[in-house]
């Protein structure tokens, strides 16, 4: 229930941004949150907040250069058609994340699994961790790699192996906010335009990388990326290796679109429309951030349930959590973006912690080794805005050192932070709590 509540809250808050806030600040907050970085320090919003207090409530925006472009209407389709839809020419491209049979059918022989979580710019941690594991000679060929949101963006490199460590490092230390989104160009579907990220993905997902992923797929390994089908309110698992193995321009376009969709924070980034067909009818599904359905993906929810006796066909389960889990105390400004940032940040942490607990239970009952890598609680580098390369570089280095160290993973989920053990002394003295 709580997990569901957290997810609902996350999605609702993100949408509220889109509805309520006529300023640029929220998109940064949404990006930071939706892509999983809950505690980013935003210099400009701080100043915006100060300035806002002086504004008259009746102040309205000035004239703008042009009316927002009207988006074409979508082709209507039914739930039944959507349930039966496939990618033309690549029927093996995907399956519903709640389909137990499709999931089990898609799995390879048992081996180590690598699970990459959401986290926005904090994906620098996971990128560094993988490079550190390589340096330590502790990087197996993962039988299964799954990615959600920023985890999806790094998953192709992680799956293709250490040869792509440098590309992964550059992806998380040599980019800035300007490479991810453009403000001031709301699309009608989102606050900002994500064309810079789309172009970045196009540069990163090269034919060479596609060929290496296809070869790994043919060898029996599996690369899964999760998006959320907003029309159906269902998570979708994309069999990225199968898409790569199909080859061709359509396949590489789909591969890139899926990555963009998996990181498309609703309200902040535009969703991605994906061409499908069902019973000879062609239409487009609307896909957005995979994090809506959970901050990382191990298996369908029904198989993960504590009431299930399903055993993961893995030898080891490695989960890389690309988002800080520690509480981030701050006196929240009386300003909608600040309130939503703090709320969504808290929800993401709760969701991630609960998923870690559930994954731990599943691994235990499966007789599978549980391994979780999380950002050290001691990491507190300042961030000068969203996707600050300096901050990301420091986090990459932190992940690298952890990956190269003796204990890159913990055998248990990180402990829950405990609250204050006693009431503030002034209450005790005054008896105000009696």
- Residues lying near another protein in the complex (CB under 8 A) are found at 22-25, 27-28, 42-44, 47-49, 51-52, 54-56, 58-66, 68-69, 176-178, 181-186, 191, 193, 195-196, 384-390
Closest CB to another protein among 195 and 379?
Answer: 195
What residues contact residue 211 under an 8 Å CB cut-off, 6+ apart? 244
Closest CB to another protein among 46 and 234?
Answer: 46
> What crossing angle do the helices spanning 25-34 and 336-366 adopt, rounded to 10°?
10
Closest CB to another protein among 62 and 419?
Answer: 62
Q: How far is the CB of 52 from another protein (least distance, A)?
A: 6
Q: What is the rounded CA–CA span in Å between residue 148 and residue 294?
A: 8
CB 283 within 8 A of CB 86: no
Q: How far is the CB of 341 from another protein (least distance, A)?
A: 15
Q: What is the DSSP string of 9-72?
A: HHHHHHHHHHHH--SSHHHHHHHHHHTT-TT---HHHHHHHHHHTTS-TT------SSPPPPPP
Closest CB to another protein among 142 and 387?
Answer: 387
CB 132 within 8 A of CB 403: yes
Give the angle 148-108-219 at the CA atoms, nearest 5°.
100
Q: How far is the CB of 41 from another protein (least distance, A)?
A: 9
Closest CB to another protein among 44 and 365?
Answer: 44
CB 371 within 8 A of CB 403: no
Closest CB to another protein among 55 and 434?
Answer: 55
Tell me if residue 224 falls in helix, strand or coil: strand
Q: What is the rounded CA–CA span in Å between residue 420 and residue 211?
A: 54
Q: How far is the CB of 181 from another protein (least distance, A)?
A: 7
Q: How far is the CB of 51 from another protein (least distance, A)?
A: 3
Determine which helix (DSSP H) or strand (DSSP E) holds 273, and give its type and residue range: strand 272-278
Q: How far is the CB of 332 from another protein (least distance, A)?
A: 17
Q: What is the rounded CA–CA span in Å between residue 333 and residue 229?
A: 34
Q: How far is the CB of 185 from another protein (least distance, A)?
A: 4
Closest CB to another protein among 391 and 409?
Answer: 391
């Amino acid at each position: 229930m709580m997990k569901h509540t957290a997810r609902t809250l996350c999605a609702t808050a993100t949408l509220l941004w889109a509805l309520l806030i006529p300023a640029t600040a929220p998109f940064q907050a949404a990006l930071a949150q939706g892509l999983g970085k809950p505690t980013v320090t935003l210099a400009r919003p701080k100043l915006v907040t100060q300035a806002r207090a002086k504004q008259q409530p009746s102040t309205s925006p000035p004239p703008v250069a042009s009316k927002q472009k009207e988006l074409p209407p979508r082709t209507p389709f039914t739930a039944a058609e959507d349930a039966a839809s496939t990618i033309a020419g690549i029927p093996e491209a995907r399956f519903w994340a709640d389909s137990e049979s499709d999931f089990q059918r898609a799995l390879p022989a048992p081996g180590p699994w690598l699970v990459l979580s959401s986290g926005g710019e904090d994906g620098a941690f996971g990128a560094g961790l993988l490079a550190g594991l390589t340096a330590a000679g502790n990087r197996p060929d993962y039988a299964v790699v799954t990615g959600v949101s920023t985890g999806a963006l790094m998953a192709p490199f992680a799956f293709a192996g250490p040869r792509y460590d440098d590309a992964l490092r550059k992806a998380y230390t040599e980019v800035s906010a300007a490479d991810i989104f453009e403000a001031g160009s709301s699309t009608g579907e989102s606050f900002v335009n994500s064309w810079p990220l789309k172009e970045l993905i196009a540069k990163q997902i090269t034919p060479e990388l596609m060929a290496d992923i296809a070869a790994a797929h043919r060898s029996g390994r599996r690369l899964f990326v999760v998006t959320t089908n907003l029309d159906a309110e269902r998570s979708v698992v994309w069999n990225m290796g199968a898409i790569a193995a199909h080859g061709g321009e359509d396949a590489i376009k789909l591969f890139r679109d899926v990555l963009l969709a998996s990181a498309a924070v609703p309200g902040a980034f535009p969703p991605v429309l994906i061409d499908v067909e069902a019973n000879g009818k062609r239409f487009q599904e609307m896909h957005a951030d995979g994090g809506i359905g959970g901050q990382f993906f191990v298996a369908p929810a029904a198989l993960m349930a504590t009431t299930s006796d399903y055993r993961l066909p893995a030898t080891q389960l490695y989960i890389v959590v690309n988002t800080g889990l520690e509480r981030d105390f701050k006196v929240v400004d009386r300003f909608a973006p600040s309130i939503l940032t703090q709320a969504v940040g808290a929800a993401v942490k709760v969701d991630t912690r609960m998923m870690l607990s559930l994954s731990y239970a599943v691994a235990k009952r499966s007789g599978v080794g549980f391994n979780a890598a999380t950002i050290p609680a001691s990491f507190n580098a300042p961030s000068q805005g969203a996707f600050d390369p300096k901050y990301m570089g420091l986090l990459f280095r932190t992940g690298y050192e952890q990956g190269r160290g003796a204990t890159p993973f913990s055998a248990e989920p990180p402990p829950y932070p405990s609250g204050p053990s006693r009431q503030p002394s002034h209450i005790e003295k005054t008896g105000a709590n009696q």
